[in-house]
Amino acid sequence: MEWWLALLLLLGVMVVLMMSGMPVAVSFLLVDLLGAFLFLGGKAGVVQLVLNMMESLTSFSLLPVPLFVLMGEVMFHSQLGFKAIDVMDHWIGKIPGRLALLAILGGATFSTMSGSTLATTAILGSMLVPDMQKRGYHKSMSIGPVMGSGGLSMLIPPSALAILLAALNQVSVGGLLIAGILPGCLIAFFYAAYVVIRCLLQPHLAPSFEVPNLSFGEKLRATLIHVVPLGLIIFLVIGLIFLGIATPSEAAALGALGTIFLAAAYGKMGWETLKKSIMGTVRVTSMMFMIIVGSMTFSQIMAFSGASAGLIQLVTGLDLPPMMVLISMQVILLFLGCFMDNLSMVMIAIPIFLPIVNALHFNTLWFSLIMLINMEMANTTPPFGLLLFVMKGVAPKGTTMGDIYKAGVPFLLCDATAMVLVMIFPQIALFLPGLMK
Amino acid sequence: ASGPIKLKMVTFLPKGDINMTAWMAFMKDVNEKAKGELEIVFTGGPEAIPGFKQFEALRNGVVDIIFGCESYYGRQVSGAAYTHLTRLDPIKERENGYYDFRVKLLKKHNIYYLGRAEFGPWFQIFTNKPVKRPQELAGQKIRVSATYEAFVRKLGAVPVTLPGSDIYTALERGTIDGYAWSVLGNVQAGWCDVCHYIIEPRIYQMNIEALVNLKTWQRLPSHLRKLMTDCMIANERKYSQVMVEISEKEFLEMQERGMKLIKFSPEDSRWYVNLAYEAGWEDVIKQNPKLGTKLRKLLSP
Amino acid sequence: MALFSTLDRIFDGLLKAFAWLAGFMMMFALVSVSVDVVLRYFFNKPIGWVLQISEYILLYIPFLAAGYVLRQEGHIRIDIILNRISRRLQNRINMVTSLVGALVMLILTYYSTYVTYDFYQRGVPTLKYLKIPEFLVIMVIPAGCFVFAVEFVRRAFRLYRELGGNGRKQD
Ligand code: NA
Ligand code: NA
C-alpha cells in the first residue's frame, strides 16, 4: 500500500474514533490493531503489536511520572499545597490574575526541579487548579497557565527530553540544557504578560479576592510553617541530584517518600489520605500510560508502514530555500504533534531531518532547541497531547476536553511567538551555551 | 514479470548511527549486485520495532532480516549472551567451525545466521576516579549492562544498573564513578564531557550479527543465497578493518576532548584483560555449562 | 437475576483488587528505589534488580487498573462533539463505542494470551538482571485486557438500561 493511503487510512480512522467519544487509549489500540494487521503482516503483526506494547512501558525513565503524580496527590489530599499557596499569595501584591501568575512563577520554579513535563503539570494542576476554581477563576485563567507553565519544564533544565534530543541530534547535552534557559524565561515572560493584559481587559476572568491583611511577622510565621518545609522537599529532590546521591528518577522516589513523611509530620497523613492518594495516582497513571501504550505502538506502525517517512520526505523534498525548509520541518512537527506524543514524533523525524539540517549547514544546537519548543507545543496541541490529558485527569469534574483545548490556545501562541523569535534571533538560544566555552 | 524479491530489514540502532557503517555498505553491495532480483529494504530502526523485540519480529516473519545486538537475544538463544567474548576474527570463526555451530544454534529459533554484521569496535571502562593499578578499581561504582556485569563484579567494583538515558546526569553529579561502554558513541552521547579517564586495556568485541528469517532464507533462490553469503564474507574481511579505523579515530577524539588515558603496566594489563574474559566465560558457563564450555574452546585462540 | 447481581459485585471486587494491587506495586517501586539509593550511597551495596522490577511495575500498573479506571469513567475521551448532541444519542453512541472497545480488548486478550503461552512454552527469559521468565511480565496484558473488555460490556449494559427508561440519563 502507498504510504499516503496508509497515512490517510490510519489517521482517518483514528480521528473518527476519537471524535465518537471512544476513550483515546482504546481508539489508538483499535487503529494499532488495524495497522498491525495491514502493515506488520496479519496475525504475526498483531503478535508483534502485543510485544511492542510491553516494550513501550518497561522503561525506567517513565518512573518519575507516577511518583510526581503521587507527590501532587499527597499534597492535594493532605492539603499541604493549598496552605503554601495561600501564604505565597499573601506576599504577592494585588496584581491582576495573581493566582495565574503564581502558577507561572511556580511552574518556572518547579521546572528547575523537575525534568518531567507531565509531572510538573500534574503537580501544579492538582495543587492550583481546584483552588483557582474555588476563587472563581475562569477556566482559561486556571487551566491555561498551569498547562503552559507545566510545559516549561521541558525547556528549563533539568529536562529528560532535552537530554534525549541532544543524544539523538548529536549535540552537546550540556549545551542544549543551557540553551533552554533563555527561551524558557522568554516564554514564561510572555505567559505572564498575556495573563496580566488579559486580566486588565477582562477582570471577571480572575476575580480578585480579599486576603486578610497580615502583619509582616504573621506572614513570616506562616511562611516558616507552610512554605519552608515544602521547599525542603523540593530541596530533597534537587539536592539529591545535585549532590550526586540519586539520579533524577530516583530523586523522584525520595521526593515522593519525603512528601508522605512531611504530610505525616503535619499530622495530615491518615490511612484515608494515603489510600486516596495512591488510588488517585493509580487512576491518573493508568489513564496516561494506556495512552502512551497506544500512541507509541501507533508511531511504530506509522514508521514501519513508511507513512511517516513518506510524509516527511514529501514536504522536505520540494527544494525550498533553507529557511522555508526549516519552517516546513517545524510545520510537519506541529502537525505530527497534534496526533502523537512528542517523543515518538521526534524519533520518526530526526533520522530524516538531521541529514537535511547538516546539508543546509544549520547550527544543530539551535535547530534542536527549536525542535524542543515544538515538542513542548505538541503536548498541548489538540486533539492529542499528553498535557491535555494530564490536565483532564487533575481538573475538577465537569471540565470538558473542549475547555482544555481552548484554555491552551493563547499559551500555544506564546510558544509559537518564542519559537519564531528564536528562529529570527538564534542568539536567544546560543548566547548562554557560547559562554560555556 | 514481478519485481525484485524485497527483504524487510530493521536495525536495533537508528539510521545513521556510526555502528551501522559496515552494515549499510553490505546492504548497498547486495542491492547493487542483485539488482532487479533482490532488494534489502530498510524499514526502520528501533522507532519501527523496539530493539528488544526485533528478534521476535524476525522469528515470526514480521521482518526478513535484522542487524541485531546479541545482548538483546543471546540469553534466549544459548542461555547467556557470549559472542562479545570471542577472540577470533569473523573469518577464523568461519574456518574453525564456530560459524556452522552458530547456524545450527539459531536454526532452532527459525533464524538463519548470516554472519558478523559488525566487527572491530571494542569495549572499555571509563571513570572519573583515576587509578594506577586495576586492583584500585575495587569499590568504584560502575554503570554496567549484562555484558560487563560479571567482570565489574570480579574487579571488586560495584556494578550499578541505570538506564542509558541517566548515564550523563549520573556521571556529572557523581552518582556513579564510571561506566563500561563500547568505544563508539561516547562522544555523541556527551559522556566524554563529564567523564575524565579511559582505562586503556580494551576488552571484548562488538557483538552484532546479521540474521535472516529461516523461511525467507530457504525460499531464496540458491544463487541469491550465495550472493548474500559472498557479500557478507567480503564485508567481514574488509569492514572489520574499517570499523577498527573508525574506532581508533573515535578513541583519539575522546582524548582530544579532554579524556585522559590510564595506562597499566604490561603485567597489570594482562591481568585485567584476562580477568575480563575469565569472568565473562565463567558467567556463561554458569548459565549453560555444556554449551558454555564448548563455546569457550571454540572462540579462544 | 440474583446470580447476575452477585457476579456484578464479584467483578466490582475484582476491579478494586486489581487496582489495589497496582497501587501496592507502585508503593513497592517507590520504597525499593529509595532503599536502593540509600544502600548504594552509604553502603556501596546497590540492589541490582530494582531497575528491572520497577520497569515491569510500570507495565503492570496501567493494565491492572485499566478496567477500574473505566468503571470510574477515568479514561480520557474527546467530548467536543458528544457534548453538542442529545443525551439519548450520546447514550447510543457511547453504547456502540463501548461494545467496539470490548471487541478491541477481547482481540488483544486473545493475542496476548497466545504470546504469553508461547513465551511460557518456549521458556523465553527476560534479558536483564534477573532471569525471570518473560511470560510472567507479559501476562498482565491479557489479564488487564480481559478485565477491561468485561468492564466495557458492563458499561454498554448500564447505558442500555438507562436508555430503557425515559431515555434520559439519571445522574
Ligand atoms: Na525542567
Ligand atoms: Na498535540
pLDDT by residue (tens digit) across A219-271? 888 888 877 877 777 677 667 766 778 876 788 788 889 889 988 998 888 99
Evaluate if residue B125 carries a pLDDT over 80.
yes
Element (H, E) at B260: strand B260-262
Grid coordinates standing for A266? 503535619
C53-76: average pLDDT: 93
Residue range A73-99: average pLDDT? 74
- Please name the chains neighbouring A, where neighbouring means 3+ C-beta pairs under 8 angstroms: B, C
Size of interface A-C (CB pairs under 8 A): 183
Q: Which of A284, A290, A397 to mutate to test the interface with C (most CBs of C within 10 A)?
A: A290
**Residue from the list A174, A244, A347 with its beta carbon closest to the beta carbon of B173:** A244
Residue C169 pLDDT more than 50?
A: no
Distance A108 CA to ligand 1 centre (A): 8
Nearest CA of chain B to the CA of C17: how many Å? 31
What CA–CA distance (Å, rounded) separates A104 from A205? 16
Q: Are A58 and C59 a contacting pair at CB < 8 A?
A: yes
Interchain contact, A26 vs C104, CB within 8 Å: yes
Say whether A45 and B62 touch across the interface (CB within 8 A).
yes
CB contact under 8 A, A401 and C141: no
C-alpha to C-alpha distance for A153 and A155, rounded to whole angstroms:
5
The pLDDT of residue A125 is: 79
Domain enclosing residue C68, as ranges: 2-162
Chain-chain contact of C55 with A400 (C-beta, under 8 angstroms):
no
Binning pLDDT at 50, 70 and 90, where does residue A186 land? Answer: very high
Distance CA A314, CA A316 (A): 6
Chain B nearest C-alpha distance from A34 (Å): 15
Going from the Cα of A74 to the center of ligand 1, the distance in angstroms, rounded, reads 21
Of B47, B62, B193, the CB nearest to A172: B193
Confidence of residue B80 (pLDDT cuts 50, 70, 90): confident
Q: Of the ranges A165-179, A357-371, C27-41, which one carries the lowest mean pLDDT score?
A: A165-179
Interchain contact, B174 vs A60, CB within 8 Å: no
What's the confidence (pLDDT) of residue A151?
Answer: 84
DSSP element (H, E) containing B39: strand B38-44
What is the number of structural domains in chain C?
1
Residue B180 vs residue A228, higher pLDDT: B180
State the pLDDT at residue C171: 41
Among the partner-chain residues C29, C64, C104, the one whose CB lies closest to the CB of A63 is: C29
ipTM over 0.95: no
**Highest mean pLDDT: which range of A157-171, A232-246, B40-54:** B40-54
Whether residue C171 is contained in a domain is answered as no
pLDDT value at position C14? Answer: 95
Which band of pLDDT confidence, cut at 50, 70 and 90, is reported for residue C168?
A: very low
Across chain C, what does the average pLDDT equal? 89
Give per-residue pLDDT as tens, A102-147: 888 777 766 665 556 766 777 777 777 877 877 788 888 888 998 8
Question: Over 70: is that where the pLDDT of A167 sits?
Answer: no
Burial C134-158 (b: 16+ CB within 10 A, else e): bbebbbbbbbbbbbbbbbbbbbbee
Residue A154 has which C-alpha cell? Answer: 521541558
Q: What is the pLDDT of residue C170?
A: 42
Q: Is the pLDDT score of A310 beyond 80?
A: no
Rounded mean pLDDT of A200-211?
A: 80
Question: B129-179 pLDDT, tens per residue?
Answer: 999 999 999 989 999 988 888 999 999 999 888 877 778 878 887 889 999
Model pLDDT, residue A360? 78
**CA closest to C40 among chain A residues:** A245
pLDDT at A303: 83
Residues of C in contact with B75 (CB under 8 A): 125, 127, 131
Lowest mean pLDDT among C15-29, C70-84, C116-130: C70-84
The percent of residues above 70 in pLDDT, for chain C, comes to 95
Q: What are phi and psi of A156, to 5 degrees?
A: -80, 125
Q: What is the distance between the alpha carbons of residues C164 and C171, in angstroms, rounded to a whole number?
A: 15
Chain B / chain C CB contacts < 8 angstroms: 36
- Mutate which of B54, B60, B141, B161 to test chain C, going by most C C-beta atoms within 10 A? B161
Note the pLDDT of residue A312.
Answer: 67
Per the CB < 8 A criterion, the answer to whether A419 and A367 are in contact is: no
CB contacts, 8 Å: C44 with chain B:
139, 141, 158
What is the average pLDDT score of chain A?
A: 82
Mean pLDDT of chain B: 92
Whether C42 maps to a domain, the answer reads yes
Pick B189 or B126 by higher pLDDT. Answer: B126
CB contacts of C40 in chain B (<8 Å) are 141, 158, 160
Amino acid at residue number A37: F
Question: How far B286 CA lies from chain A's nearest CA (Å)?
Answer: 27
Ligand nearest, relative to CA of residue A24? 2
**Could you give the percent of chain C with pLDDT greater than 90?**
63
**Of A146-155, B189-198, C25-34, highest mean pLDDT:** C25-34
Question: What is the pLDDT at residue B222?
Answer: 95
Q: Chain B partners of C131 at a C-beta cutoff of 8 Å? A: 75
C125 contacts on B by Cβ (under 8 Å): 75-76
Residue in chain B nearest A174 by alpha carbon: B190
What percent of chain A has a predicted confidence (pLDDT) above 90? 21
CB contact under 8 A, C125 and B75: yes
The radius of gyration computed from the CA coordinates of chain A, to the nearest angstrom, equals 22
Cα A110 to averaged position of ligand 1 atoms, centre (Å):
7
Q: Is the pLDDT of residue A437 over 60?
A: no
CB A151 within 8 A of CB A419: no
Q: Which helix (H) or strand (E) holds A105?
A: helix A98-111
- More confident position, B264 or A95: B264
pLDDT at B150: 92
What's the gap in Å between B257 CA and the centre of ligand 1?
A: 27
B169–C contact, CB cutoff 8 A = no
Q: Which residue has the cell 502507498?
A: A2
Contact C44 B158 (CB under 8 A): yes
Q: Can you give the pLDDT at residue A344?
A: 61
Assess whether pLDDT exceeds 70 at residue A436.
no
Continuous H helices in chain B: 21-33, 54-59, 74-78, 90-95, 98-107, 146-154, 167-173, 214-219, 222-256, 266-287, 289-299
Say how many Å lie between the CA of residue A304 and the centre of ligand 2.
21
The pairing of beta strand B123-127 with beta strand B197-199: antiparallel
* B52, B159, B160 member nearest C127 (Cβ): B52
| Chain A interface mutation, best of C42, C63, C75, highest count of A Cβ atoms under 10 Å | C75
Torsional sign, CA B19, B24, B30, B33: negative
Confidence of residue A208 (pLDDT cuts 50, 70, 90): confident
Residue with the bigger pLDDT between A325 and A426: it is: A426
**Least confident stretch, A49-63, A89-103, B246-260:** A89-103
Residue C143 lies in a domain: yes
Which of A51, A168, A300 shows the shortest C-beta gap to B56?
Answer: A51
Name the band, by pLDDT with cuts 50, 70 and 90, for residue B39. very high
